[in-house]
């Protein structure tokens, strides 16, 4: 091939990127932490010259570039995203939280379909080259995919749910990949594999039979009868699934070419701290400081008073200083807060975890927090609450860089002793540095990987060649249960025929032997 031909080919492939594409990003139902998985992608796409329309359910932040970026904001949806109504007491009701998702979807759909922005997008004459949707609890926006007739990419801020893997035809790997809502490891015994299989199938078909029909019904009632259902939209338009996982932190799962792992794309080097915080942590001396945060969904004032007192009395015994993310100081008197503890409604978490004086991170085990701790090499004490937090905590403890504690059995001595173990046992620091090296040692940066595949889908008009034929099969067919049944039945039939043949031979041989041995009658 001549040089001119190569240049022409490269120009053809890059023309879409050079000219810029029109991309719609839909995330009306979200959480502050989950938005951290999407904002770097939005910024990078804008920097690449693409025009991005971003509908996010939270108030726009100043850390998003404005060039070629149109931010759509719905104040009426923000109330759902700043308070997901997940309480401290819900930690023991994992399955109840999941089975309530159909009811929550009904509320979300009605709010979204009444929102002016949804109708603005539904009636637009603008042509989009690609639509990216936050995968969890945003099923209600799927009718827009059919109306706008553009390829679809799902981005998921946590490990993939069974139905997301099922939609793209990727193996569920139930035999070793635990359901994200459980605390199993990848080495399950028979009892655990049975429970993991049943729970995975229940989650998968609950979504198919109870959640998506809610979206279809409300969409018909509020938007019209001539709408394509969710299942058909996903089957026809879904090109790619981008998930926030990496083998250094999450359990490994075999994936199809339509699944891109991009765990830790939001992790960045630390920036200088504000003066007040820098002064506080510098005052910790050689003892350093501890960061405490239980995420953006669980609020500090949801934690019972007696549990909060356990933390404060434990921290009072420490030589380290403590920074605790606490949204409200209602119910917390100044005289109850030890001198070495500072409680603030917001913390620059990555900047603190990347500080040279940080010694420990006490957290809820959200995937974003775990990734940031691993990236910056800070060991953990994890108290999981709900969703994927228990399995994240279990994996971190099994890998040797965290201690998992139980809220129900927590007392001052357990917490204090766990802190001392982390601070004094060098193995935790060694393990977290090893895992951090594994996480950082990648051929390309996760963000660059996502941008490449987003532009790849645009270049090839949805990249239908990425879609595996297994997407058209039922789950029992993908698991070869029908083939196993046929082989098993055939083997039974062969065994039965062999048994009958052997029995017939035995009977024939017995009769023949009997006749042969019978004494001949004498002739008279």
Assess if residue 270 is contained within a domain.
Answer: no
Q: Which of 72, 79, 64, 193 is nearest to 122 (CA)?
A: 72
As for how many domains the chain has, the answer is 3
Same domain (yes/no): 244, 303? no
**Residue pLDDT, tens place only, 415-429:** 999 999 999 999 999
Q: Is the pLDDT reported for residue 35 higher than 90?
A: no
Q: How confident is the model at residue 15 (pLDDT cuts 50, 70, 90)?
A: very low
Q: How confident is the model at residue 2 (pLDDT cuts 50, 70, 90)?
A: very low
Q: How far apart are CA 21 and CA 50, in angstroms?
A: 5
Q: Is the pLDDT reported for residue 97 higher than 90?
A: no
Same domain (yes/no): 322, 244? no
Q: Which of 91, 25, 23 is nearest to 58 (CA)?
A: 25
Same domain (yes/no): 250, 304? no
> Residue 223 belongs to what domain range?
3-265+445-477
Q: Within 13 Å and on the Cβ side, how many CA atoms surround 274? A: 6
Assess if residue 466 is contained within a domain.
Answer: yes
Identify the bridge partners of residue 362 per DSSP, sorted by sequence position. 292, 381
**Residue pLDDT, tens place only, 338-348:** 999 999 988 99
Same domain (yes/no): 434, 452? no
Q: How far apart are CA 406 and CA 384, in angstroms?
A: 8
Q: How confident is the model at residue 90 (pLDDT cuts 50, 70, 90)?
A: low
| Domain of residue 256, CATH code | 3.40.50.2000
Same domain (yes/no): 183, 248? yes
Assess if residue 126 is contained within a domain.
Answer: yes
Assess if residue 199 is contained within a domain.
Answer: yes
Same domain (yes/no): 52, 180? yes
- Answer yes or no: are the C-beta atoms of 34 and 81 closer than 8 Å: no
Same domain (yes/no): 351, 470? no
Assess if residue 520 is contained within a domain.
Answer: no
Assess if residue 393 is contained within a domain.
Answer: yes
Same domain (yes/no): 454, 494? no
Element (H, E) at 241: strand 238-243
Same domain (yes/no): 325, 376? yes
Same domain (yes/no): 320, 255? no
Assess if residue 521 is contained within a domain.
Answer: no
């Amino acid at each position: 091939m001549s040089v001119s031909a190569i240049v022409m080919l490269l120009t053809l492939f890059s023309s879409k990127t050079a000219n810029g594409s029109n991309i719609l990003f839909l995330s009306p139902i979200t959480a502050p932490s989950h938005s951290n998985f999407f904002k770097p992608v939005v910024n990078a796409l804008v920097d690449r010259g693409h025009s991005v329309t971003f509908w996010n359910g939270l108030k726009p932040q100043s850390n998003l570039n404005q060039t070629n970026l149109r931010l759509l904001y719905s104040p009426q949806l923000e109330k759902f995203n700043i308070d997901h109504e997940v309480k401290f007491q819900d930690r023991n009701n994992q399955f109840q939280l999941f089975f309530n998702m159909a009811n929550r979807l009904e509320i979300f759909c009605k709010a979204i379909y009444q929102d002016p922005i949804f109708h603005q997008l539904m009636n637009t004459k603008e042509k989009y080259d690609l639509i990216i949707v936050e995968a969890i609890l945003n099923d209600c926006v799927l009718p827009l995919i059919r109306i706008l007739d553009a390829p679809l990419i799902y981005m998921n801020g946590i490990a993939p749910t069974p139905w997301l893997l099922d939609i793209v035809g990727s193996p569920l790997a139930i035999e070793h990949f635990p359901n994200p809502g459980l605390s199993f490891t990848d080495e399950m015994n028979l009892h655990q594999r049975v429970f993991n299989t049943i729970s995975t199938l229940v989650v998968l078909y609950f979504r198919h039979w109870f959640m998506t029909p809610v979206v279809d019904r409300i969409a018909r009632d509020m938007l019209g009868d001539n709408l394509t259902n969710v299942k058909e939209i996903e089957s026809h338009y879904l090109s790619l699934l981008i998930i926030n996982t990496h083998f250094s932190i999450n359990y490994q799962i075999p994936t199809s070419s339509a699944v891109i792992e991009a765990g830790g794309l939001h992790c960045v080097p630390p920036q200088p701290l504000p003066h007040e915080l820098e002064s506080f942590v510098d005052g910790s001396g050689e003892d350093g400081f501890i960061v405490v945060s239980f995420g953006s969904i669980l609020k500090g004032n949801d934690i019972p008073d007696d549990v909060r007192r356990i933390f404060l009395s434990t921290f009072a015994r420490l030589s380290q200083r403590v920074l605790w993310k606490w949204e409200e100081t209602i119910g917390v008197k100044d005289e109850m807060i030890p001198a070495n503890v500072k409680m603030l409604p917001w913390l620059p978490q990555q900047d603190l975890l990347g500080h040279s004086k940080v010694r420990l991170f006490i957290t809820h085990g959200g995937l974003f927090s775990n990734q940031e701790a691993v990236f910056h090499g800070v060991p953990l004490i994890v108290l999981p609450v709900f969703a994927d937090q228990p399995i994240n905590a279990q994996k971190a403890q099994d890998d040797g860089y965290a201690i998992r504690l139980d809220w129900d059995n927590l007392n001052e001595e357990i917490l204090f002793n766990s802190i001392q173990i982390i601070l004094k046992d060098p193995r935790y620091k060694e393990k977290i540095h090893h895992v951090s090296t594994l996480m950082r040692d990648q051929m390309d940066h996760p963000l660059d990987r996502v941008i490449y595949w987003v532009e790849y889908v645009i270049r090839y008009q949805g990249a239908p060649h990425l879609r595996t034929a297994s997407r058209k099969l039922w789950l029992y067919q993908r698991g070869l249960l029908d083939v196993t049944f046929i082989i098993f039945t055939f083997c039974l039939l062969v065994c039965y025929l062999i048994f009958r043949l052997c029995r017939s031979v035995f009977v024939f041989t017995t009769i023949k032997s009997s006749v042969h041995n019978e004494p001949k009658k004498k002739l008279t």
